[in-house]
Structure formats: C-alpha cells, structure tokens
Amino acid sequence: MHEPAADMPTVMDTPAATVQQQRDFGDATDFTGFSAERMQFSAGTDIAPLLEGLPDDTCQVPHWGYVLDGAIDVRYSDDTEEVDRAGDLFYWPPGHSVSVEEDSEIILFSPQAEHLAVFEHMASKMEDSDAPSP
C-alpha cells in the first residue's frame, strides 16, 4: 500500500499542530483498521491538557512510528520519560503523552477506531475556551 504523505487528508490543523491521516491503511497485529498519520508539531506544543479526562489523563492507544524531524518528549503514566529524535523508530504503549521543544514531524501508525476516539476527545477539549490548542 502506498500513500504520498503530502496527499494525506488533513484532520486537524491548528497553529501548534497539523495532523494528516489516511484511514484504512491496512491491518496489523491484532487490530483491524490502522490509520497512518503525518503529524507536525510547533515548538512548545504539549498535548497533555487535551488528554485530561482520559484514563490516567494519557492517550490509551498504542502507536508505532518514525521521527522525521526534531524530537518528541514522551511521558508515560508510570512517570518514565523518553526522547525520540529524528531518525528514531518508536513504539508508544498505552498510557503516554507527548510534547515538543522544537518544531517536529513524525509518521505514526495507530489502531484507527481507538485513535479516532482520542481525536474526538481532544477536539471537544479544544472547544473549551480554557483549553489551549495542541
């Protein structure tokens, strides 16, 4: 399956983050319906406020991916942290949040239905005037 990243539909576009997502990108492991996403984050972006209200106030969806540019700071619900940098492959198990200190770009593969539910939660948080955009 082939999809030029530039041609993927944009599903979120804020001053701090742009997410392009290709749904139904195939099956993997025990999940049916994976999505492929290209995410671009502006320096200073922290998605933690948008995850509040989810279990442990973290994303509960596993992700596999690759850092194209910049660095992603990952915080897990068990208080461990890691930094994934340009050129790194990564796996983020359920129970994580991310932030960036510099402009960064990643390619992400996620179970589609589960990740769409997180996007819906984040969108509802963004509608709250007190919540910052990611």
Q: What ranges do the domains of the chain cover?
A: 9-127
The answer to whether the CB of 69 falls within 8 A of the CB of 86 is: yes
Average pLDDT over residues 24-28: 54
User: H/E/C letters for each residue in the chain?
Assistant: CCCCHHHCCEEEECCCEEEEEECCCCCECCECCEEEEEEEECCCCECHHHHECEHHHCECCCEEEEEEECEEEEEECCCCEEEEECCCEEEECCCEEEECCCCEEEEEEEEHHHHHHHHHHHHHHHHCCCCCCC
CA-CA distance, 111 to 48, in Å (whole number)?
20
pTM of the model: 0.75
23: pLDDT strictly greater than 70: no
Is residue 109 within 8 A of residue 38, CB to CB? The reply is no
Residue 31: pLDDT above 80? no
How far apart (Å, rounded) are the C-alpha atoms in residues 63 and 72?
13
User: CA 48, CA 133: separation in Å to the nearest integer?
Assistant: 11
Average pLDDT over residues 48-56: 95
Taking the C-alpha atoms of residue 11 and residue 38, their distance in angstroms, rounded to an integer, is 10
pLDDT at 18 (0 to 100) = 75
Q: Which CATH superfamily is domain 9-127 in?
A: Jelly Rolls (2.60.120.10)
More confident residue, 103 or 15: 103
